[in-house]
Structure 1
């Protein structure tokens, strides 16, 4: 059947001589893999740039329930991004988040419109932030939990599932701010504390969602440092 849906690109890999397989989180179908034919061909009328991480697209999909790999018939930009792919810090955070988000979405192969709306609005906000972007990945991973069924709504629950010691009173307050305040809110913390908090969040998801440590973690740390 033919399905029209919005979608958020997470990654892609080359397929054959001219095509790609894109991993996309769609509003109507959930998370899935899609073939995009001839996008790498010299004769292609559209750029592979449409499939950069976090790009938001309007899609026409060919969907067969008996097939794991679906096809994209048509696509166009849904909401252009102006800064995420041009700014080194933002692009590195994006690379890291799309890797972790893809791992968390493995079980989301059915529609989850609330999660989709959260992700779309978060990306739009991130693209527009001019300052205070260094905490975005922490806030995103804390805020996305409830949409995936992981109740990271209490700091003590977060630490009780990891090998980390309970945070100091000061860092407890910082984590609470990261959870509750909007993106871009000024939350001051030392570089070492930011790295430690990210380790705690990742350990939580490793324990509950059984995801592996992201390969892009060291790249993220190198750029933020």
Structure 2
């Protein structure tokens, strides 16, 4: 079956001599892995750069229900990104979020249009963001929960999954701002506060979504610190 769909790239790995397997969150099919044939060949007319994390593509998919691995036959940019892949801080945040989001999407094998639209709009905003860049990953992971069925109803719920005391009144206020305010809002916080909030978010998803600790977490912290 041929399916036309928008897709958000979450990473790839080399496959064979010239191909790749890419992880994609698609509007029409949900989350899955797809082969892209000959993209690494010297004769390929298109660059592997299309498959950087958070790239947004218009794709033609070959889907066969009896296969776990599907194929992308055609693709082009849906919305070109200008800063995410060239800005060192943004690219580090993108790699971290792509890893965590991939793990959270493991159960999203069916279309989730609201989640897809939220994610695509968030990426577009992040690409142009000038203020609050260092808090984007915190805001995204807090805001995306309801679309995945892991809504954080209140701040106490966020910390109930972690073996730690309740947040201070200042930290409580910061988390409330991260959850409620739009991306780009200037929410000042220290390195320690940002790390503690991120630990609480990761612990929450580890407890409720059973994801493992992100491998890119230490790299992200070294960049933001």
* TM-score relative to the length of structure 1: 0.99
**Match status 1:172 vs 2:172:** yes
Counterpart in 1 of 2:117? 117
Using the alignment, how far apart are the partners of 2:132 and 2:180 within structure 1?
A: 16
Distance 2:146 2:107 in 1: 14
Deviations 1:63-120 (A, max 9, x none): 0111100000100000000000000000000000000000000000100000000000
1:219 is matched with: 219
Say yes or no: does 1:36 pair with 2:26: no
The one-character-per-residue Cα deviations of 1:19-61 (angstroms, maximum 9, x if unpaired) are 0000000000000000000000000000000000000000000
How far did 1:131 drift? 2.5
Counterpart Cα distance in 2 of 1:59 and 1:153: 36
RMSD: 0.6
Aligned equivalent of 1:194: 194
Q: Please identify runs of 4+ aligned residues in structure 1 that moved more than 4 A.
A: none
Equivalent residue pairs, number: 225
Q: Distance in 2 between matches of 1:184 and 1:130?
A: 7
The CA deviation at 1:132 is 1.9
Structure 2: stretches of 5+ with no match in the other structure:
none
Matches within 5 A, 1:127-142: 127-142=127-142
Structure 1 segments unaligned to the other structure (5+ residues): none
What does residue range 1-225 of structure 1 map to in structure 2 within 5 Å?
1-225=1-225
Three-state SS of the structure 1 residue aligned to 2:133 is coil
Q: Does the CA contact (< 8 Å) of 2:131 and 2:185 recur in 1?
A: no
